[in-house]
Amino acid sequence: MEVDEQKKIFRDFIEQNYYPQLLEAVRKGQSFLVIDFTQLIKFNTELSEELLEAPEEVLKAAELTIKDFDQKITKFNVRLTNLPDSQKVAVSEIRSKHLNKFLWTEGVVRKKSDVRPHVTTVKFECPSCGTMITLFQTDQKYHEPSRCSCGRKGKFKEISKELLDGQGIVLEESPDELEGAGQPKRINVFLKDDLVSPISDRRTAPGSKVRLYGWVTEVPIILKTGGQSVKYDLIIEANNLEPMQEDFFNLKINEKEMEEIRKIAKSPDVLAVLSNSIVPSIFGHDKIKEALVLQLAGGCKKERPDGVVTRGDMHVLLIGDPGAGKSQMLKRISKVAPKARFTSGKGASGAGLTASVVRDEFLGGWSLEAGTLVLANHGFAIIDELDKMTKEDRAALHEGLEQQQVSISKANIQATLRCETTVLAAANPKHGRFDPYGLLAEQIDLPPTLINRFDLIFPVQDNPQREKDEQTATFILALHKNPEKAKAEISTNLLTKYFSYIRQTGNPKMTDAAIEEIKEYYITMRNSDTATEGKRAPVPITARQLEALIRLSEASAKIRLSKTVTKKDAQKAIELINYCLSQIAKDNETGKIDIDRLSSRITATQRSNIGVLKEIIDALEKQLNSKLIPLEAIVEAAKEKNMTVGQVEEVLEKLRRSGDVFEPKRNFVQRL
């Protein structure tokens, strides 16, 4: 088809379908018009087929047609949308046959370079005869005219040049489109002109999912020797870019599935039904399974008028003995959870989890690359072997868990990336197995500040019990004999759609009865033990656990598709929090729950004993009028305060380590 013919068809097409939109775009000062391909194919099949085969030439004709409408228009782009499914090509399937063909693909933006101007046309003047030579710059290399009509070679004078904004992004296949295990393939994409405007710029933030329309072109690779390689690099010249809704990949739920979802939600004990289906191949651990169901449902995110955002995502940590099935649970959740990413501690770095700044080979300079937490935005990040990560890498998780954002200040890049991600992590105790009598904080190599950010912490203990062991063995052996036995009541596909649906639509409000129940529990717990004889009372629960209670009760209401959070939901949340706290934060000496056991190296009892002992040493100094105090005198005075010899020695050891006291000679103590 000749160019004039193409222009005529485009003119008729735009006049019939897009004239008001074109006038509106010109009025707003926009330089692009979005055309629906389905309308074009109805109008003229021949032209639309030619457009798919040779997009650059046909789009050029369309742009020239628009310029004919209004002489004031100097530069105008035609953007296409709604291409047929036959033109969809996955990133990993792009081959040489797709070169210069119009196609579309979907993927996640992995990294993005800065916006820089690129030259398109340059006007040169010949110094000898004054002839004007216009040269189009199509390659990456800048070209000058080789000769003029008057016979002059080289040394031409540059008069003017046209510049376009350009930016490079790297598009990676979506993990949900990968079949089996495999490294997702990447391709470079070149965006120019209005696709890099500030409005479009927000759509291409690292971690966002996009649909891209364009054509593949080859870029020559220059070798170090200066010659050209026989191998070419592929790059997509973008024509249009559309952001895709991130809400769990926009899962389509048909009417039949909707009925099943409502049926599950209406069952009398919906939590038990879901928890039985969540990890059917693991015996026991009922409380953990319930917690995982509530975590998949999630709480409600709230934005306050002052700009403070309260997260709705619940973080769960499983600490336990090897072989207790933690990794199995995590692996299963990564299959059930919508938009989940699984990573293991040993192979994960802080940059890989949050975001990294890498040198950009494509367009030079530095670019930002999103990590697991950012890519799993509005989804799940599942981290196994958390204790195997290095101290520096774990520190990167702090901001991501509580503030739900990742701040980067490296090289010349200062950026804040969103990561509204639910984290499920597993770790082993410090010495491989659990010592139920030791402090949890001393048995796990995680900083107290990080432990504190998890709403629920479950110790997964593997203690020998004849009856339980018999049931477990029977269950596992029966599974090996007949693997079909582990079939869940609800299929994995339906579970994923169930949790996607309630996460998208559920937003239950707290009732007064639920608020009263949680308030009562919180106040009772905090004031269950009063300070005695100058000793500080243990803090059984903090405001962080109060927020966790609210999130859990909202999740409990969500799984019933309820609009309100009832007293029953609040009781379920209290039951789970209480279970966790009594498992890991109970002080064996007093039998009371003490949050300091969990989030600090020193329990409230020990802290009180330290205070008591310091007072004794102070009093004895005045009494004996000497800096040197005999150990016997301290033990005697401590007995009156109900402290045993063992406790005195333990506290003195702590004081020695912290540098508060020292022993100038045997059995004598002196303050520093």
Task: State yes or no: pLDDT of 270 exceeds 80.
Answer: yes
> Could you give the CA distance from residue 483 to residue 477 in angstroms, rounded to a whole number?
10
pLDDT at position 595: 61
Two tokens, residue 651: 């506290």
Task: State yes or no: pLDDT of 505 exceeds 50.
Answer: yes
Quote the distance between the C-alpha of residue 494 and its chain's center.
Answer: 23
Q: Which domains does the chain have, with CATH numbers?
A: 3-82 (3.30.1640.10), 87-244 (2.40.50.140), 255-597 (3.40.50.300), 602-671 (1.10.10.10)
Strands 302-303, 309-310: pairing is: antiparallel
Q: Average the pLDDT over 522-526 and give the result.
A: 82
CA distances to 101, 282, 319 from 385, rounded to whole Å, are 46, 19, 10
> Could you give the CA distance from residue 599 to residue 595 in angstroms, rounded to a whole number?
6
pLDDT at position 37: 86
pLDDT at position 245: 54
Task: State yes or no: pLDDT of 247 exceeds 50.
Answer: no
pLDDT at position 493: 80
Q: What percent of the chain lies above the pLDDT cut of 90?
A: 1
> Could you give the CA distance from residue 282 to residue 538 in angstroms, rounded to a whole number?
37
Based on the number of CB atoms within 10 Å of its own CB, is 669 exposed (0-12), middle (13-18) or buried (19 or more)? buried
Bridge partners of 423?
381
pLDDT at position 533: 45
pLDDT at position 71: 64
Task: State yes or no: pLDDT of 141 exceeds 80.
Answer: no
Q: SS3 for 55?
A: helix
Query: Can you say whether residue 650 is alpha, beta or left, with left for phi > 0 and alpha for psi between -120 and 50 degrees?
Result: alpha
> Could you give the CA distance from residue 500 to residue 583 in angstroms, rounded to a whole number?
32
Q: SS3 for 457?
A: strand
Task: State yes or no: pLDDT of 527 exceeds 70.
Answer: yes
Task: State yes or no: pLDDT of 597 exceeds 60.
Answer: no
pLDDT in tens, 50-108: 888 888 888 888 888 888 877 667 678 888 888 888 888 888 888 888 888 899 998 88
Q: Average the pLDDT over 4-28 and give the result.
A: 85
Task: State yes or no: pLDDT of 249 exceeds 50.
Answer: no
Q: Average the pLDDT over 571-588 and give the result.
A: 78
Among the ranges given (18-32, 38-52, 517-531), the one the predictor scored with the smallest mean pLDDT:
517-531
Cβ partners under 8 Å of residue 355, min gap 6: 206, 368, 369, 370, 371, 374, 406, 408, 415, 417
CA distances to 25, 41, 188, 394 from 220, rounded to whole Å, are 37, 34, 14, 42
> Could you give the CA distance from residue 302 to residue 554 in angstroms, rounded to a whole number?
12
Q: Which residue has the higher pLDDT, 170 or 251?
A: 170
pLDDT at position 382: 87
Binned at pLDDT 50, 70 and 90, residue 534 comes out as very low
Q: Average the pLDDT over 619-624 and give the result.
A: 82
Cβ partners under 8 Å of residue 342, min gap 6: 330, 331, 334, 382, 384
Task: State yes or no: pLDDT of 172 exceeds 50.
Answer: yes
Q: What percent of the chain lies above the pLDDT cut of 70?
A: 88
CA distances to 8, 102, 347, 640 from 76, rounded to whole Å, are 17, 19, 48, 90
Q: Which residue has the higher pLDDT, 538 or 2?
A: 2
- Most confident range (mean pLDDT) of 173-177, 215-219, 322-326, 416-420 is 215-219
> Could you give the CA distance from residue 21 to residue 556 in angstroms, rounded to a whole number?
48
Cα 312-324-549 angle, rounded to 5 deg:
25
pLDDT in tens, 399-435: 878 788 888 887 677 778 888 888 888 888 877 777 7
Number of neighbouring beta carbons within 10 Å of residue 493: 11
Binned at pLDDT 50, 70 and 90, residue 496 comes out as confident
Q: Average the pLDDT over 631-660 and give the result.
A: 81
Number of neighbouring beta carbons within 10 Å of residue 142: 10
Among the ranges given (375-379, 512-516, 613-617), the one the predictor scored with the smallest mean pLDDT:
375-379
Q: Average the pLDDT over 129-158 and give the result.
A: 78
pLDDT at position 488: 73
> Could you give the CA distance from residue 345 to residue 394 in angstroms, rounded to a whole number?
9
pLDDT at position 178: 65
pLDDT at position 667: 80
DSSP structure class, residue 566: -
Two tokens, residue 220: 């020559």
pLDDT in tens, 308-329: 888 888 888 888 888 777 888 8
Task: State yes or no: pLDDT of 217 exceeds 70.
Answer: yes
Among the ranges given (46-55, 125-134, 361-370), the one the predictor scored with the smallest mean pLDDT:
361-370
Task: State yes or no: pLDDT of 22 exceeds 70.
Answer: yes
> Could you give the CA distance from residue 555 to residue 326 in angstroms, rounded to a whole number?
22
* Cα four-point dihedral sign 80, 179, 278, 494: positive
CA distances to 172, 333, 340 from 423, rounded to whole Å, are 23, 11, 10
pLDDT at position 177: 67
Q: Average the pLDDT over 366-376 and give the result.
A: 76
Among the ranges given (90-94, 438-442, 546-550), the one the predictor scored with the smallest mean pLDDT:
438-442
Number of neighbouring beta carbons within 10 Å of residue 166: 19
pLDDT in tens, 182-209: 677 888 888 888 788 777 777 777 777 8
* Cα four-point dihedral sign 554, 558, 559, 562: positive
Among the ranges given (211-225, 267-281, 435-449), the one the predictor scored with the smallest mean pLDDT:
435-449
Cβ contact 512:565 at 8 Å: no
Among the ranges given (125-139, 236-250, 336-350, 626-640), the one the predictor scored with the smallest mean pLDDT:
236-250
Binned at pLDDT 50, 70 and 90, residue 387 comes out as confident
Number of neighbouring beta carbons within 10 Å of residue 595: 22
Number of neighbouring beta carbons within 10 Å of residue 102: 23
